[in-house]
Amino acid sequence: MKGICTLILAALLVLQPAAANVVWAREVRLEMGDEDGSRMKAVAAAAEAAGAQVQGGPDAAVSAPGQAAAVGTPGPDAGDAIMADTSGQEPGAAAMAGTPGPDAGDAIMADTSGQEPGAAAMTGTPGPDAGDAVMADTSGQEPGDAVMAAAPAAAVEVQAPSALLMEASTGQVIYEKDADQKRSPASITKIMTLILIFDALESGKIKMTDEVVTSAYAKSMGGSQVFLEEGEKQTVETLIKCIIIASGNDASVTMAEYIGGTEQEFVRMMNERAAGLGMTNTHFVDCCGLTDSPDHVTTARDIAIMSRELINRYPQIHNYSTIWMENITHVTKQGTKEFGLSNTNKLLKMATNFTVTGLKTGSTSLAKYCLSATAEKDGVRLIAVVMAAPDFKARFADAQTMLNYGYANCRLYEDKEMLPLPQMAVTGGVADQVPLYYEGSFSYLSLSGEDLDQVEKNLVLEESLPAPVTKGQAAGVITYTLGGKKLGEVRVLAAADVEEAGYMDYLKKLAGAWLGTAGWLPQASD
């Protein structure tokens, strides 16, 4: 079918008047998701074979989704093609060779076989002194592991071969299908790129207002791009928009070089960060997902893990991932011109029963159609991951199916007012007490409709701690139960070190106690 479409398009190009018998490959995108440019190359080659002139040749750069397709010789406002109705294209993408009817490009939704049962997990959220999120005590599983829940096997039907639905605050897996199969992620890769960018912002290494210079190498990136020129300067914030909205490969490499020095070093940092998150089935080769290397792989589960890290640690990402369209300004030696960014995430404009908050699309001929979608409703945030969907409509339909299932079945309990903690007595220490803190806050995701208003909590502390006491030392737990069933717990920890008292410390204590009893304590002078 794609071959027939290619020949038809090529024929239409040749039938243009002689003065307009030029295809500006740099401004054309045949089909959404052509991030590696393979479809554009096929069109260009067919057009040349049919006698049309292709500016830039078959290997010319292909615009990001949302770029207008221009057939003919562009004028001063090149790229301002007539926009077709969008049922068969990426949001904002321009029509090629006529305006499709209301059903143009509609995909037939395939029925699917049974899926894996849903899954559940409980985690804590880090407190002020805590590091990574801590799993509430279920059955000794590792952080991020799931406890299987009794979801109907056919409760969710998706076309994609790999998919996963996760609740963001707990990390609980609600549904999964072949979620650990390694696959090419295409531009979903950029989620990790964005994590490292925001890491660098958080650490103070870079600032949003920094101006970053585009290298010749970054400019040379094909696939989806925003057409940065060598030597062009853009701020970090603008480049973030180019990455998250328009999936710019050139913008991704520009930021990778700015933070890591080289893309290779940045990719090493990506793999190191992935390992730290427990993404055991992930290996990155580039920073944008354009590569066709068989070594550039991840899984639906690992995509959910890094998506969760991005939206939990840096929720400000939603300020950018929810932008539908926005212009940036190119300032180069050739002058100044506006360039329109159009979001590749069609879910943002689809009618839903929830609020879509992001996050990232990806597609190449190798990866097919991928998506990490984030949404929110009634305080519940879900992440739906789709990998290798057969077409772009299927990836959005699959994500919506999973999100609808999640919001129909999930209820979230969050302890936003944890019990106050007393000072803990210390025996044999230089101090008699030590302050306490919770290792994290507590969340529980219910899939069975329990009345979460009936959750009970019980604080159990040690009577005292013997010195020496180390900061972070366990001092007790707060447990959560519902109907006699333990939901989980969060540990209570010592908030400071307390050294063991020596001989002189005891003398000072005795002297202080005796002087205080005798009323001989020194009085403050005026």
- Tell me the per-residue pLDDT of 501-517, one tens digit each, with 9 for 90 and over: 877 766 776 766 666 55
The more confidently predicted of residues 65 and 453 is 453
Tell me phi and psi for residue 371, to 5 degrees: -160, 135
User: What predicted TM-score, i.e. pTM, was given to this entire model?
Assistant: 0.69
pLDDT tens per residue, range 456-469? 999 999 999 999 99
Kindly state the percentage of the chain with pLDDT values over 70. Answer: 67
Number of domains composing the chain: 2
Residue pointed to by tokens 């737990």: 477
As a whole number of angstroms, the distance between CA 300 and CA 80 comes to 37
pLDDT score, position 143: 35
Predicted pLDDT at 334: 87
Closest Cα to residue 198, out of 97, 309, 353? 309
Do residue 401 and residue 435 come from a single domain? no
Both 449 and 394 in a single domain? no
Q: What is the pLDDT of residue 37?
A: 52
Query: In this structure, are residues 370 and 362 in contact, taking their beta carbons and an 8 Å threshold?
Result: yes
Which DSSP helix (H) or strand (E) runs through 338?
strand 335-342
Residue of 190, 241, 368, 393 with catalytic role: 190
Do 386 and 483 lie in a common domain? no
User: Is 28 or 317 the better-scoring residue by pLDDT?
Assistant: 317
Residue 416 designated active-site: no
- 429 with 405, same domain: the answer is no
Query: Does 494 map to a domain?
Result: yes
Q: What is the pLDDT of residue 501?
A: 84
Task: Note the Cα 249 to chain centre separation in Å.
Answer: 17
The winner for highest mean pLDDT among 259-268, 427-436, 443-452, 501-510 is: 259-268
Domain assignment present for 34: no
Catalytic residue among 187, 224, 342, 443: 187
Contact call for residues 367 and 420 (beta carbons, < 8 A): no
User: Residue 478: inside a domain, yes or no?
Assistant: yes
Provide the greatest CA pair distance for the chain. 111
What is the span of the domain harbouring residue 378? 162-409
Give the model confidence (pLDDT) of 398-442 as tens digits.
Answer: 999 999 999 999 999 999 999 999 999 999 999 999 999 999 999
Same domain, 296 and 437: no
> How do strand 424-427 and strand 433-434 relate by DSSP bridges?
antiparallel
Q: What interhelical angle do 38-49 and 2-14 show, nearest 10?
A: 50
Write down the pLDDT at residue 60. 35
Is 489 in the same domain as 378? no
Q: Identify whether 429 is part of a domain.
A: yes
Whether residue 485 has pLDDT greater than 60 = yes
Q: Is the model more confident about 95 or about 16?
A: 16
Q: Is the pLDDT of residue 471 over 60?
A: yes
Q: Which of 54, 168, 165, 52 is nearest to 117 (CA)?
A: 165
The span from the CA of 102 to the CA of 114, in Å, is: 32
360 annotated among ligand-binding-site residues = yes
Residue 247 falls in the annotated catalytic set: yes
- Token couple for 381: 């945030």
pLDDT of residue 458: 96
Q: Is residue 397 part of a domain?
A: yes
By 3-state DSSP, what share of the chain in percent is helix, strand and coil, each rounded to 5? 30, 25, 45
Structural domain ending residue among the three candidates 409, 443, 467: 409
pLDDT band at 155 (very low <50, low <70, confident <90, very high): confident
Section 458-483 average pLDDT: 96
User: Can you tell me the mean pLDDT for 271-290?
Assistant: 97
Whether the per-residue pLDDT at 267 is higher than 90: the answer is: yes
Considering the domain architecture, whether residues 259 and 388 belong to the same structural domain is answered as yes
Q: Are residues 361 and 266 in the same domain?
A: yes
Q: Which residue has the higher pLDDT, 86 or 149?
A: 149
Residues 267 and 343 in one domain: yes
Domain assignment present for 111: no
For residue 433, give the CATH number of its domain.
2.60.410.10
The percent of residues in the chain predicted with pLDDT above 90, rounded, is 62
Highest mean pLDDT among 16-30, 33-47, 251-265: 251-265
- How does residue 492 score in pLDDT terms, banded at 50, 70 and 90? very high
Q: Tell which of 409, 435, 452 closes a domain.
A: 409
pLDDT of residue 66: 35
Q: Examine the pLDDT at 150 and tell me if it is beyond 50.
A: no
Domain final residue pick, 383, 409, 435:
409
For 304-354, what is each residue's pLDDT tens digit?
A: 999 999 999 999 999 999 999 999 999 998 899 999 999 999 999 999 999
509 is catalytic: no
229 with 304, same domain? yes
Cis ω for the linkage preceding 468 (within 30 of 0): yes
Of these residues, 63, 184, 224, 247, which one is catalytic? 247
**Do residues 288 and 431 both lie within one domain?**
no
Asked whether the predicted pLDDT for residue 488 surpasses 60, the reply is: yes
Per-residue model confidence (pLDDT) at position 449: 83
> Residues 198-243: pLDDT tens digits?
999 999 999 999 999 999 999 999 899 999 999 999 999 999 999 9
Q: Does residue 445 lie in a domain region?
A: yes
For residues 450 and 110, which has the higher predicted lDDT (pLDDT)? Answer: 450
CATH number, residue 398:
3.40.710.10
pLDDT for 129 beyond 70: no
Task: Determine the average pLDDT of the residues in 121-134.
Answer: 36
